[in-house]
Homo-oligomer: A and B are copies of this chain.
Amino acid sequence: MNQISVIANAPEFTKGFVKELRIRWAHEEMGLSYTEIKVAHADLKSEDYLKLQPFGQVPYFQSGDLTLFESGAILHYLAIKNNKLIPNDESGRARTMSWLFASLNSIEPFVAQYFLVAKYFKSNEPEVIKKSFDLVHGRLGQLSKALNQNLYLENEFSIADIVMTTVLRDAYSMNMIEDYPNLIQYKERNEKRPAFIRALNDHAKLYGS
């Protein structure tokens, strides 16, 4: 049985934005079951937890003797293992990996730096906040051009779309993509997938009623 770690009592503002959601979503898309390993928020930095997830975050993933961390690596493992959510052919797989890494290294960090500057470090310098916003806005504009009117990042729905959709949910929540209707449409199209709805629903149960 596959197991994924989730936070038992995360702060309410994280609802819908925790990375375990990506792994739930993939399981639902693939028709795989999994169980949750519920971890108290305070225990994420414990020595025992850090042995499984060196950065004290969720999710880590277990299947038999194998323990993995990083949502990108877990998604890739599931896709290859089950031959789902990734094309069959070598070139299609490699291109899907380009987009998987792009979502995690060329988009998410830029969304995150704005969150850090404006909300977490609480910069009081309007110019710094503007530069930070302009940087992520530019990146999202490049993504918008590359996606164009395609339904998915590659020919078919893949693990790259799972990550990019969750990253765009973050960006949307901070009003970063309102200038890019195709990104909004892409995000909303993927959010309507029954597998996403089930995953989000199960994730939301962690937060009580």
* A113 touches which of B70, B106, B113, B122 (Cβ 8 Å): B113
Q: Decide if A116 is an interface residue (CB 8 Å cutoff).
A: yes
State the copy count for this chain.
Answer: 2
B128 close to A121 (CB less than 8 A): yes
- Number of chain A interface residues as a range: 35 or more
Could you tell me the distance in whole angstroms from the C-beta of A69 to the nearest C-beta in chain B? 5
Q: Which chain B residues border A125 with CB–CB below 8 Å?
A: 123-125, 128
* A109 touches which of B102, B112, B132 (Cβ 8 Å): B112
Q: Decide if A206 is an interface residue (CB 8 Å cutoff).
A: no
Q: Interface residues, chain A, CB within 8 Å of chain B? A: 50, 54-57, 65-66, 68-73, 76-77, 81, 90-91, 94-95, 97-98, 100-102, 104-106, 108-109, 112-113, 116-117, 120-125, 127-128, 131-132, 135, 139, 142-143, 145-146
Apart from A73-B100, A120-B131, A122-B128, what are 16 other A-B pairs with CB-CB below 8 Å?
A: A50-B146, A54-B145, A55-B139, A66-B95, A68-B94, A69-B102, A70-B105, A73-B94, A76-B94, A81-B90, A104-B104, A116-B135, A121-B127, A123-B128, A124-B125, A125-B128
